Amino acid sequence: MASLDEETAKAVLRQVEFYFSDSNIPTDEFLRKKMSESQDACILTLSFIYIDFF
C-alpha cells in the first residue's frame, strides 16, 4: 500500500473525525443504520470505509 503525504493524511483524519462526530451522526442515516446493526458498529464501519477508500 502506498504511503500518504502528510497533507493528505491530515485531510483524511479530519474527514474521519467529522464522519464520527456528534454533529454528523444524527444526520447520517447510513452510519446510524450500521451502528444499530452491531455492538461493534464503529469498528465494522471503519473497516468498511478503509476497504472502500483504498
**What CA–CA distance (Å, rounded) separates 44 from 39?**
9
pTM: predicted TM-score of the whole model, two decimal places: 0.59
**Which pLDDT band holds residue 43 (cuts at 50, 70, 90)?**
low
And the C-alpha cell for 51? 476497504
Q: Which residue has the higher pLDDT, 43 or 5?
A: 5
What amino acid occupies position 35? M
Residue 54: pLDDT band with limits 50, 70, 90? very low
Condensed to tens digits (0 to 9), the pLDDT of residues 8-23 reads 888 988 988 898 889 9
